[in-house]
Amino acid sequence: MPGSPGSVSLPVGSIPDEHLAVVAIRMEAADRIAAAFGPGAGSAVRGATMAALAELVGSRGTVVRATPDHVAILVDSSVADLDDLVKALSRRLAATIDVGDVSYFVQTHIGVALPDDVPPGTDATGTHRADDLMQAAIAAVHSAFTRGAHLAYASEVSITNLQREVELAAELATAVGEAFTLHYQPIVTVDGLETVGYESLLRWTVDNRVRLPGTFLDAAEETSLIVPIGRWGVGEAIRQLAVWQTESGNPALFMSVNFSSQQLFDRDLAAHISATLAQHSVDGATLWIEVTERDMITADSPASATIHELAALGCVICVDDLGTGYAALRYMVDHPISVAKIDRSLVADMGDDPTKRSIVETVCRLSDELGIVSVAEGVEDRSQVPLLKQVGFTHAQGYLFGRPEPAPSITPPATRV
């Protein structure tokens, strides 16, 4: 924004304020090239890419280094055909860049800020307007990167939301172990509707208001903060499980903890969990590790190695939200899966939708044949229970059996004599 910290003065030249457009380009692969062939190669590729862009742009714009990671092209949109220029840039960046006798492909993301995307400049030189357009174009680059797209326009991006994400990340960094708490939701057997375990669910209290994971986990995932948050969460869940097992005299009571693929890339996670289980004298077989089906974890990835390490500790590996994607069978083949949690969207509709019922019955039957526990998620009405038994579910979870609550509000079931 005008006058904001870190603003960059760009050479606007003679471009009229109302016609100025900015195209920003980030070269994602230059760092990979530097890692593979040395910093000199990375710098040479960046320089060659800028030279290639300058040759392509010619008199249609001015190519400058806007930030260490971004090239900017300042364009007079009343003179140059911006659409044609962006298409030409995309074509050129889809080809290789030659440095000496070696050809490199540089993965790039493009962001475009048009004249109407920011208010008129605040000074006679138009410098602030150029800075604002540059910020908007870089925001579009960020949008393209996070969406896995090659090109994005600033009109699609809210800088206010991006600023809030940055602020949220700073808040998250100071919240671990202080403002975070866990709530717990019961998991019951379908046959007797007895509580046999709990799922731990992260909550964040800010200004006496509880925030649900959907409001902050994406920001944590985009940073390294998800790792310390996850470590704290599993540690606290195991500690609480130990308390409940002792109080209830029920050593079979289990706790289910959610993990994203990014958390599972933490190569020290298994050692951390092993040490925490030992510290609290908790059997690994009473810890469920939930991984959502939407997190595609390939068999040869570090995350997959972590899953196998946790299974070796005796932990129960669980696929969550089964039915929302297409990875179910692949998960069951490639990983030591012991629990399948069927997504609430299938469970809620299977009474009225024969197709969804057929899918659920097939999954439950396959789970039974493989010795896998099947959990129905999102059960809210008692009338659903007979159908859960008919299709073959072994366990269930949902508001019918209890909403997520803090530990002091829960009395775990004692062992039956």
Give the tens place of pLDDT for each residue, 292-310.
766 656 777 888 899 999 9
Query: Is 365 in the same domain as 247?
Result: yes
Measured CA to CA, the distance from residue 246 to residue 255 in angstroms comes to 14
Measured CA to CA, the distance from residue 319 to residue 333 in angstroms comes to 12
Query: Is 174 in the same domain as 151?
Result: no
Structural domain includes residue 417: no
| Structure confidence at residue 183 (pLDDT) | 95
Query: Is 185 in the same domain as 217?
Result: yes
**Predicted confidence band of residue 10 (pLDDT cuts 50, 70, 90):** low
Element (H, E) at 147: helix 127-147
Give the tens place of pLDDT for each residue, 371-417.
899 999 999 999 999 999 999 999 999 999 999 999 999 999 887 54
Residue type, 148: G
Q: Which of the listed residues 157, 184, 217 is the one where a domain comes to its end?
A: 157
Please give the tally of structural domains in the chain: 2
Give the tens place of pLDDT for each residue, 115-125.
888 766 544 44
Measured CA to CA, the distance from residue 252 to residue 238 in angstroms comes to 13
pLDDT at 168 over 50: yes
Q: Which of the listed residues 112, 134, 157 is the one where a domain comes to its end?
A: 157
| Structure confidence at residue 124 (pLDDT) | 46
- 136 contact partners, CB below 8 Å, separation of at least 6: 22, 111, 113, 117, 118, 154, 157, 159
What percent of the chain has a predicted confidence (pLDDT) above 70?
84
- Of 2, 17, 131, give the one whose Cα is nearest residue 64: 131
pLDDT at 276 over 90: yes
Average pLDDT over residues 208-224: 69
| Structure confidence at residue 331 (pLDDT) | 66
Q: Which domain holds residue 206?
A: 166-409
In CATH, what number is assigned to the domain containing residue 176?
A: 3.20.20.450
| Structure confidence at residue 149 (pLDDT) | 87
